[in-house]
Amino acid sequence: MDHRVSDYDDQARLNLDESRKIIVELDQDHPGFRDAVYRERRNQIAQIAYEHQPGKPVPDAPYTPEENELWSTILDVLKPIHEKCACREYLEYWDKINFPKVRIPQMKEVTTRLTSLGGFRFEPVPGLVLPKIFLTELKRDVMLVTQYIRHYSQPAFTPEPDVVHEIVGHGAMLVEPNFVAVNRLFGKVADSVDKTVIEKLIRLYWWSIEFGLVKENNKPKAIGAGLLSSIGELGSIAEHPHRPFDPEVMVQTDFDPTTTQPFYFCAESSEVAISTLVEYLTGCLK
């Protein structure tokens, strides 16, 4: 079961030509498919990840003024939605990180800010990896991420996880101590189990770390990065059915990464979500 390393989308694929240059192949329905300039920049950014040596500073991605403006626009639109729909942990640590609002922060800058607050390190990847690789890296306080940004023509949509998803969605929760510990525990478990359990873990990760909800004052709030980085989906979380936050059910529930989620799993609080995940994951180690 192959997935995009930062999430689980398989619409963008990478090949190597004779010169060993990374080539990003986009599906015909991808917003950037007919944009030659965008595709070339995606190739350049993928090449950075391909050539990068883990643990060393990540070279800057060649973002254009238009892409920096897109980043700024997305953050402006998300801000009031976050204030209404993001969990309190996210809001607290997003403010602490204080990423630039007028340009896309580079990966080495992101890592410096996260690690200074006791958080994860970001390492870029050029393409597809197995879920076990993605999850296992969490054990080392490393999240494997993409660097490109979605196409400007559809700022509210990306068919695969982009730098907005990685930084805006995951960043704050990879500094908050309880969620740092849970991500680390996912990695510890993934490093010691077989493929069957890995498939369960990736579903659990999806329904919790990517699309999980918790209640605050009896209102649903997002803890999941997929929601926290989504202009369209985050504001509508109260309109979809909510299911009990039960890992035994979550690990058996398939997901579709290409569309809005039809339902969410909602815990009674962030504390309940954390304790429930820790109990399940710890049980996997026995």
Catalytic residue (one of 170, 176, 230, 233): 170
The DSSP letter of residue 86 is B
* 229 has catalytic annotation: yes
170 is catalytic: yes
Q: Which of 119, 135, 128 has its CA nearest to residue 49?
A: 128
Where do the H-state alpha helices sit in the chain? 36-51, 65-85, 88-97, 107-116, 131-137, 163-164, 177-190, 195-205, 225-228, 231-234, 247-250, 270-284
- Residue of 67, 165, 176, 270 marked active site: 165
State the catalytic residue, choosing from 229, 230, 233, 270: 229
Q: Point out the catalytic residue in the list 109, 123, 137, 210.
A: 210
Task: Output the DSSP codes for 115-134.
Answer: HHTT-PEEEE--SEE-HHHH
Classify strands 264-267 and 242-244 as parallel, antiparallel or unpaired. parallel
Is 186 within 8 Å of 278 (Cβ atoms)? no
Rounded distance, CA 201 to CA 277, Å? 11
Show which residues are catalytic.
165, 170, 210, 229
